[in-house]
Amino acid sequence: MNRKTLRAITVLCMFGAGAIFAADTDKSKAGKVTVIFDHPETFADVKEFYMPTEKGRDALLDQIRQFIETRAASYLGAGQSLEVKFTEIDLAGEFEPQLGPGYNHVRIMKDIYAPRFDLEFKLTGADGKVLSEGKRNLRDSFYLNRMVLDRSEPLCYEKDMLSDWIRDDIKFKARAAH
């Protein structure tokens, strides 16, 4: 397959995925999503540089929060709510200071530096009845083999992994109830 054909297939897939997501998103029917980070200062790795800052950590957590709120809300019906509480986060990759100061802002991606999320969730129906709840320890040691469309996207591996969880644990249970 030549580059031109591959590029055309990629573009078509992106448009198809966008159309599916757009059709799946109706803000007038969306429920409420709440994301909580339980003691984020103790998380294994939520940092933007080798030497982290609180501001950088909060910015990364805000990206995760916004992603979950947007993606999960698109699956919830009117009156449904989802609460997600993160108890541990370890982002994909690691900083390797031994490479020198020029690499203090570069995450090195290797299979041994897999992303991890420990979370608790509760999905509630419009009537207040619990539709689903539980704890999940999300891990993906094969994250580098994922078909991620844009690897330059910040947190692309984490977002892809969380997307899978939302689809598998939330989408079908929320839809079945409305």
pLDDT in tens, 90-131: 999 999 989 988 888 899 999 999 999 999 999 999 999 999
Read off the pLDDT band of 1 (50, 70, 90): low
Q: Which of the two residues, 18 and 119, has the higher pLDDT score?
A: 119
Q: Where are the domains of the chain?
A: 1-27, 31-177
Query: What residues contact 136, with CB distance under 8 A and at least 6 apart?
Result: 117, 118, 119, 120, 121, 165, 169
Distance of alpha carbon 22 from its chain centroid, rounded?
A: 18
Structure tokens at 101: 């100061």
Q: Note the pLDDT tens digit of each residue in 120-171.
A: 999 999 999 999 999 999 999 999 998 887 777 889 999 999 999 999 999 8
Residue 19: its pLDDT value, please?
44
